[in-house]
C-alpha cells in the first residue's frame, strides 16, 4: 500500500532508508516517548541512516500532550541546530505523532516529518491523515494544524509490544472504519479473536482499515465534507475523554471512542433508523471487550458542555456523524439536549452502570 505517502512496510530498514534518501534532511531528529524509546527504538537502532540522529524523548501519556511538552520539543530542535531542511521522525503512538507532527509543522514555519506509528490506534487513525494537535485548556486536540507527514511507515511488528488495553484502543477505530464502510468489513472485525491474535490476519485488517481512512482523507483533506464520516463516535467519545481528563483519571482514546460509538449508534437508531439488531451486536462487542465508562446523571451537564466545545460544531449547535445503515452516512446531524440526555440514559442502562 502506498496511498498519499502511507506505506505498509515489508522491510522497515529499506522503507526508512528510501524515505530519508528521498527527503535528504541536513539533520535528523527522532522523537519518542519513554515507553517507545525502551520497547520500539531497538527495532530501529541497526538502520544505518539513523545512526547519527539526535534523540528527543518525552514523557509517556496523553496527559503530557500539552504546551509544555511541545515547547520542550521546539527547544530541543532549536538548541541542536535544526533548520528548515531538517526532519523529525516521530516514533510512537498517537500522542507522539500528534504532538510531533504539530511541532514539525510549526518549527521554522514547517519542517518535514515522518511518522512511524507503534500502536494500533496510531496506525489506523492518529498517524494517518495529516491531523496534528495538542490538548489545551482541558480540551482534547484544541490547538493544531492539518499538515500531512512526508511518509507514514506502518510496521505491524510493533504491535507485538502492545498490551491488551492499547490493542483494544486501536481496534475501536477499526470498528468505526468497518461501520462507515460495509458489512463484510464490519463482520470480519466483529468475528476477529482479539484475545488470541493472529498477527498475519491483523496486518491484513490494519491495511484495510487504513485504506478506508485514506480514501476519505484524499477526497476531503481538511474536513469540509465527507471526512466528517471519521467523526462517528467521537463527539460523545471526546466528551467522555475530556471528563476523564478533568477528573485526572485519563482513559485511552480508543476506549472513549468505543463508548462514544454506543451512544452515537443509539442516536443513529433514534434519528435516522439505524438497524436495531446491528446496533445491539456492536454494543455487545463493546460491552464485552471495553467495559464501561462510569458516570451519573449529575455529570450530564458537564458532558453536554464538553460536546458544545467540539471543533466540528457550527453556530453553537452540536454536530454528529450518524448512520442509517452500515456504510450509509448521515453527516451534519443534530440532536436536542433532551435526546442527548436520553442517549446517556440508554448508555448507562445497556452498559450496566
Q: Which residues are catalytic?
A: 109, 131, 173, 213, 223, 227, 231, 234, 238, 253
Phi-psi region of 96 (alpha: psi -120 to 50; beta: other; left: phi over 0): alpha
Strand partners, 42: none
Q: Which helix (H) or strand (E) holds 344?
A: helix 337-350
Cell of 240: 467522555
Crossing angle between the packed helical segments 300-308 and 234-246, to the nearest 10 degrees:
120
Residue recorded with cell 456492536: 282
Could you tell me the sign of the dihedral formed by the alpha carbons of 170, 174, 179, 185, in that order? negative
DSSP label of 111 = -
CA–CA distance, 180 with 182 (Å, rounded to integer): 7
Sheet bearing 6-8, strands edge to edge:
2-3, 6-8, 151-154, 112-117, 87-92, 28-33, 54-58
| 197-201-204 Cα angle (round to 5) | 135
Nearest-10 Cα torsion for 266, 293, 179, 188: -130
C-alpha span between 285 and 225 (Å, rounded): 30
**Alpha carbon separation from 231 to 53, 109, 112, 221, 224 (Å, rounded):** 36, 28, 27, 14, 12
Amino acid at each position: 500500500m502506498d496511498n498519499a505517502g502511507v506505506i505498509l512496510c515489508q522491510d522497515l530498514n529499506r522503507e526508512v532508508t528510501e524515505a530519508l534518501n528521498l527527503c535528504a534532511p541536513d539533520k535528523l531528529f527522532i522523537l519518542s516517548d519513554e515507553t517507545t524509546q525502551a520497547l520500539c527504538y531497538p527495532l530501529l537502532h541497526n538502520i544505518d541512516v539513523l545512526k547519527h540522529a539526535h534523540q528527543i524523548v518525552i514523557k509517556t501519556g496523553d496527559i503530557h500532550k500539552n504546551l509544555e511538552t511541545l515547547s520542550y520539543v521546539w527547544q530541543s530542535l532549536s538548541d541542536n541546530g535544526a533548520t528548515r531542511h531538517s526532519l523529525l521522525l516521530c516514533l510512537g503512538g498517537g500522542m507522539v505523532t500528534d504532538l510531533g507532527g504539530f511541532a514539525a509543522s510549526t518549527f521554522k514555519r514547517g519542517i518535514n516529518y515522518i511518522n512511524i506509528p507503534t500502536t494500533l490506534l496510531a496506525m489506523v487513525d492518529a498517524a494517518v491523515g495529516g491531523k496534528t494537535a495538542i490538548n489545551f485548556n482541558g480540551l482534547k486536540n484544541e490547538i493544531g494544524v492539518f499538515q500531512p507527514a512526508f511518509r507514514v511507515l506502518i510496521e505491524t511488528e510493533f504491535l507485538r509490544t502492545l498490551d491488551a488495553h492499547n490493542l483494544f484502543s486501536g481496534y475501536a477505530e477499526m470498528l468505526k472504519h468497518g461501520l462507515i464502510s460495509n458489512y463484510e468489513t464490519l463482520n470480519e472485525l466483529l468475528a476477529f479473536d482479539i484475545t488470541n491474535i493472529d498477527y498475519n490476519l491483523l496486518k491484513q485488517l490494519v491495511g484495510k482499515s487504513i485504506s478506508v481512512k485514506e480514501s476519505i482523507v484524499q477526497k476531503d483533506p481538511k474536513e469540509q465534507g465527507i471526512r466528517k464520516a471519521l467523526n462517528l463516535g467521537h463527539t460523545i467519545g471526546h466528551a467522555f475523554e475530556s471528563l476523564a481528563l478533568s477528573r485526572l483519571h485519563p482513559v485511552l482514546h480508543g476506549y472513549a471512542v468505543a463508548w462514544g460509538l454506543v451512544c452515537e449508534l443509539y442516536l443513529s437508531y433514534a434519528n435516522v433508523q439505524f438497524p436495531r439488531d446491528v446496533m445491539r451486536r456492536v454494543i455487545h462487542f463493546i460491552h464485552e471487550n471495553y467495559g464501561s465508562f462510569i458516570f451519573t446523571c449529575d455529570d450530564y451537564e458537564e458532558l453536554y458542555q464538553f460536546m458544545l466545545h467540539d471543533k466540528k460544531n457550527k453556530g453553537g449547535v452540536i454536530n454528529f456523524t450518524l448512520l442509517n445503515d452500515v456504510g450509509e452516512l448521515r453527516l451534519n446531524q443534530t440532536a436536542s439536549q433532551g435526546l442527548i440526555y436520553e442517549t446517556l440514559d440508554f448508555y448507562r442502562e445497556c452498559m450496566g452502570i
